[in-house]
Structure 1
Amino acid sequence: MPVWWRSIPLLPAICLLALFFVGPIFWAFYGSFTNMALTGPHAQSVDFVGLDNYFRLAADPAFPLALWLTIVFVVTSAIIGQNVLGMVIAVLLLKASKGVAAVTRTIVVLTWILPELVAAFVTYAYFNKDGTFNQILAMVGIRGVDWLFNVPMLAIILGNTWRGTAFSMMVYQAALGGVSTDLTEAAMIDGANARQRYFRVVLPIIRGTVGTNTMLITLQTLAVFTLIWVVTAGGPLNASTTLPVLAYQQAFKFGDIGYGTAIAAVMLLVGAAFAVIYVRTLRPGRLSS
């Protein structure tokens, strides 16, 4: 049987992938080279402008700030926050009693299944000037501040970490559960303490899972929009404007679709850069301990 014949059952999946994934990517890059607009004369008559939108990005003071905030948001909220906290909870759940583990797992997962809009309202209610966090501080005699004005990115990072940690916890809990106890017991007999058993035995075994999980939550965090828009709307003074928020503002608030898609194209490139790093890390030769 020819090789191409065996690929026929995959055609529906390939067509759907091309329609809903590859198609929008090509449209985004095409739109970034035009003066496409939401309203006005360029909404009907679109002209090819070449690299003009990218030259505008290079001269726009809001763009390097948005790019930097996006990287900070991804690194702190996903690569560090969700990864580390998810791993810590997963390790603790393995040592906890069944009742404690069940209650903890339920509470953590509930935050993950919340719609992003609801999680955004909860984050806003917790960190605003008269919110829950400042009320807790007042109970112990500490004067709170307007977190969403003074440190908006910190509030957003903590909110996104709180919401997304459950995914990492479930992934790592499954991976840790698959580690043979014979290996850890052998290391214990050889005199390894708990820290040494984790870093020298357990972590190398689940290294592939760590890399895969990091890639997934990185790409997911890179596209976070609703949480940021509801909590701060990118403010104050662009202090929490990431690339998705900047693209939305330019494309739909100011009606400049071409410029907005140029920002989206850059965001795709940033995501591709993270993906390439993770794919190279996940190569079989690099996963050997």
Structure 2
Amino acid sequence: MATPADTRIAPHSGGDKVRPRTSALDDRLRAHRAAEKAEARRRRLPLLPALLFVIVCTQVPFLLTIWYSLRSRNLLRPEGDQFVGLRNFADLFVDSTFRTAAMNSVLITLGCVFVSVLLGLGLALLLDRRFVGRGLVRTLLITPFLIMPVAGAMLWSISMFNPSYGLVNWLIGLVGISPVDWTSQFPVFSIIVALVWQWTPFMMLLLLAGLQSQSKDVLEAASIDGAGAWKTFLFVTLPHLRFYLELSVLLGAIYVVNTFDHIYLMTAGGPGTASANLPFYIYQRAFLGFDIGQSAAMGVVTVIATIVIAMFALRLIFRSINSKEQS
């Protein structure tokens, strides 16, 4: 006959038997996590040299730029090198040339990206159809993007917009319009036209990839439901292209905002500084004015503004990806 002491010991002894099993399970989980972490480190190890290279080539110069932006440093007056804090940044916002360059950067970027996306969408819709010679036409349309920016800028400056023998003036002369010195009278417009010519093929390729990824069953279903070509494009194709459109705008804006070649070769920032954008104005202050402190401050402002815009655009893209996956 069991005593009360025996009945109290039984649950306790049973508990002793469970604890080793739980401890062994915890040990296996910890070992599994440790193995996963070791495997993750092993996979990342070959990428370490590339990561170090990127840090050395990008982050170290950026930190030095921040350091120079806090100093009054001019190569023509080395004795005046001193720490001035945020004075260089304060001087930027009272600099009318800097404001003009910033406005030109926004205007050139928005104008080029907007027109390039519209033209690229139209060309992508045409190339998405089957016709004889489509491969040849596609290759010819891609060609402007394959030309070096320097060569493209010289082509538009000399062969197209030259006031004496340019092709554009010859064409408008056929309808009785007097020759125009495009790069002097309309410098920003001339730069936007040259950039649109170069970047439209890139937009076309991205949007054409989006069109070709669209399911044909959806288009057939819309046709069966009685939707015409315009409604099918507006309510079926365009929502499908939202991710590709956002990606085109993001990549185009990041690249176009750093435009230097076309401005340097077509207008040299002129007349005066009327067509200078931020990268070109930074070049002028650093390599022509030798003002390292001011140019470094402008570089920091440009990088921060680009990062903010890119983060906002990436958030929109990731939001559209998540909504597409959920649907």
Relative to the length of structure 2, the TM-score reads 0.82
The aligned residue for residue 129 of structure 2 is 95
Q: Percent identity?
A: 30
Which residue of structure 2 aligns with residue 31 of structure 1?
A: 68
The CA distance in 2 between the partners of 1:251 and 1:83, in whole Å, is 34
Letter in 1 for 2:66: F
- C-alpha distance after superposition, 1:219-251 (max 9, x if no partner): 000101011111001111321011111101000
Gapped regions of structure 2 (runs ≥ 5) = 1-34
Query: Are 2:114 and 1:58 equivalent residues in the alignment?
Result: no
Name the counterpart of 2:143.
Answer: 110
Q: Structure 2 CA distance, aligned partners of 1:280 and 1:204?
A: 17
CA distance in 1, matches of 2:247, 2:60: 25
Cα distance in structure 1, aligned partners of 2:47 and 2:96 = 46
Output aligned runs, 1:149-228, within 5 Å.
Answer: 149-228=184-263
Root mean square deviation, CA, Å:
1.8
Deviations 1:136-179 (A, max 9, x none): 11122222321111111001001001011111111111121111
1:40 Cα deviation (Å)?
4.2
The 1-side partners of 2:130 and 2:302 are apart by: 41
Conservation of the 8 A alpha-carbon contact between 1:87 and 1:169: yes
Please give the alpha-carbon distance, in whole angstroms, between the structure 2 residues aligned to 1:14 and 1:98: 48
The answer on 1:21 being equivalent to 2:58 is yes
- Pick from 119, 126, 135 the counterpart of residue 85 of structure 1: 119
If the length of structure 1 is used for normalisation, what is the TM-score?
0.92
Q: Distance in 2 between matches of 1:13 and 1:278?
A: 26
C-alpha distance in 1 between matches for 2:253 and 2:262: 16
Q: Distance in 2 between matches of 1:184 and 1:19?
A: 50
Aligned to 2:170, which of 135, 156, 159? 135
How far apart are the structure 2 equivalents of 1:280 and 1:262?
27
What secondary structure, in the 3-state scheme, does the structure 2 residue paired with 1:223 have? coil
The Cα of 1:26 is off from its aligned counterpart by 2.1
Structure 1 contact 38–251 (Cα < 8 Å) conserved: no
For residues 236 and 59 of structure 2, what CA distance do their matches in structure 1 show? 41
Q: Which runs of 5+ in 1 are unaligned?
A: none
Q: Which runs of 4+ in 1 moved over 6 A?
A: none
